[in-house]
Copies of this chain bind each other. A is one copy, B any other.
Amino acid sequence: MKYLLFTIVSIVDLISLGSAISQRTFQEIQEEIASYGDIAKAIINLAVYGKAQNRSYERLALLVDTIGPRLSGSKNLEKAIQIMYQNLQEDGLENVHLEPVKIPHWERGEESAVMLEPRTHKMAILGLGSSIGTPPEGITAEVLVVTSFDELHRRAPQARGKIVVYNQPYVNYSSTVLYRVQGASEAARVGAVASLIRSVASSSIYSPHTGLQEYQDGVPKIPTACITVEDAEMMSRMASRGSRIVIQLKMGAKNYPDADSFNTVAELVGSKYPEQVVLVSGHLDSWDVGQGAMDDGGGAFISWETLSLIKDLGLRPKRTLRLVLWTAEEQGGVGAFQYYQLHKANISNYSLVMESDLGTFFPYGLQFTGSDKARAIMKEVMCLLQPINVTQVLQYGEGTDISYWIQAGVPGASLLDDLYKYFSFHHSHGDTMTVMDPKQMNVAAAVWAVVSFVVADMEEMLPRS
């Protein structure tokens, strides 16, 4: 639906392009953007070669080594928010404040899965976010292995009373993740007692990858966890040989009442149009495994770094550059939705919303959603990044937290980098500082800072459809 919507918008843009253009010619805009060449070089020099190099990496390492993972509803997340509040104040940023929101509180508790037949095998699992637990004695049942929802539906009569194991191939994240999100309810519809989903991952060293799942209304809730690619494939082979597979699944997962949390905000207030906003962001919460260094520590910290770099250079854009560190993104953009509800009355003043939530490795380019005119402007802005060779403007600005604004017509941008690497570590115990590279973070921060500063400082806001 999202992509279809964007296509329609783009066609409309194309038709109305002539009339939508402002008083200024595009050449005047090009010249304005080109005039930021020295500022862009100064930002790049400071971030990549100067005294700020490796700062976002070092700051991030300190936070995530100190706190660890930051699950929605956990004390760790609230500690991290308080530390970041202090960090942003100590950094000399403006309007540093916390905006209260309510967020989900789920805990996994103790969990285990043991194959009892055809042989004893202790399996690595991670319960999926929002899943219910099992009874204390666990659920012991025979397994039905399927490779798709289609196969599940074809074999529906065999699913009753079973644990459904999904061994769906990894195609790409956005399509394959449907098994994680909907697998439990689809299995419950045909009478399954639990479901185990092959981790949605581009590679594996016997690594389970957790994530959110969603129960559907009117369908019984059954416990659900992810298993490794390795175990999903093994059970598929066993089943194809006719072996009976029996698993004992124990999950202590519990859902608690919503918890108090905060979106963390800081600004560089605009010199000329302070009410107008360019928003840069990442989310501070993570899953409860690994360190949440990549997802989304990196995105949060290059966004902070953006304001630090601009402040360090003594720059102040005409519009307000606002940093938001979202809470409870992993639970479905929960903090960001409440932010949108609170601030949407001011939507006409949002020039650009940016979120980095797909890794801060060496960027391939900027993903962007907006009118053709706005895209043409972004292409000019990205030319300023020729010194570090990151100039591409790609389709579809992404980010759960900024999606509310993008869907309402605000131009949106995100960073794209090595998704194979990203989805190797995503939501797993392997999401740690070991994945992060300070030099790559320097470059990502430079891109983030140049784009957000120039768009915040140009004479006009980005044009909408």
Contact = CB atoms under 8 A, between A and B. Distances in A.
Given A65-B237, A66-B119, A205 B433 contact: no
A380 interface: no
A290 B119 contact: no
A234 interface: yes
Contacts of A233: 432-434
A214 interface: no
Interface string A259-291: 000000000000000000000000000000011
Given A61-B237, A237-B61, A206 B66 contact: no
B205 A424 contact: yes
A204 interface: yes
Contacts of A237: 61, 65, 433
A: interface residue count bin: 20 to 34
Given A237-B433, A434-B230, A119 B207 contact: no
B206 A432 contact: yes
A241 interface: yes
A434 B61 contact: no
Interface string A408-432: 0000000000000000110011101
Contacts of A65: 234, 237-238, 241
Interface in A86-138: 118-119, 121, 124
A233 B430 CA distance: 12
A199 to B, nearest CB: 10
A62 interface: yes
Interface in A224-258: 229-230, 233-234, 237-238, 241
A298 to B, nearest CB: 15
Nearest to A432: B230
A67 interface: yes
A113 B336 CA distance: 37
Nearest to A115: B68
Contacts of A206: 207, 290, 428-430, 432
Contacts of A66: 118-119
Interface in A5-62: 61-62
Nearest to A238: B65
Interface string A62-79: 100111100000000000
B119 A234 contact: no
Contacts of A61: 237
A67 B241 CA distance: 15
Interface-centre pick from A207, A234, A241, A424 (highest chain B CB count, 10 A): A234
A55 to B, nearest CB: 15
A229 B121 CA distance: 25
A439 B119 CA distance: 28
A431 to B, nearest CB: 8
A234 B124 contact: no
A429 B227 CA distance: 13
B434 A229 contact: yes
A424 B62 CA distance: 28
Contacts of A432: 206, 230, 233-234
A430 to B, nearest CB: 4
Contact of A68 (B121, B229, B290): B121
A428 B124 CA distance: 13
A237 B203 CA distance: 27
Contact of A429 (B119, B205, B425, B430): B205
A189 to B, nearest CB: 30
A9 to B, nearest CB: 39
Interface string A315-343: 00000000000000000000000000000
Contacts of A433: 230, 233-234, 237
Nearest to A64: B234
* Ranked 8 nearest A-B pairs via Cβ: A205-B430, A206-B429, A205-B207, A230-B432, A206-B430, A230-B434, A205-B205, A233-B434
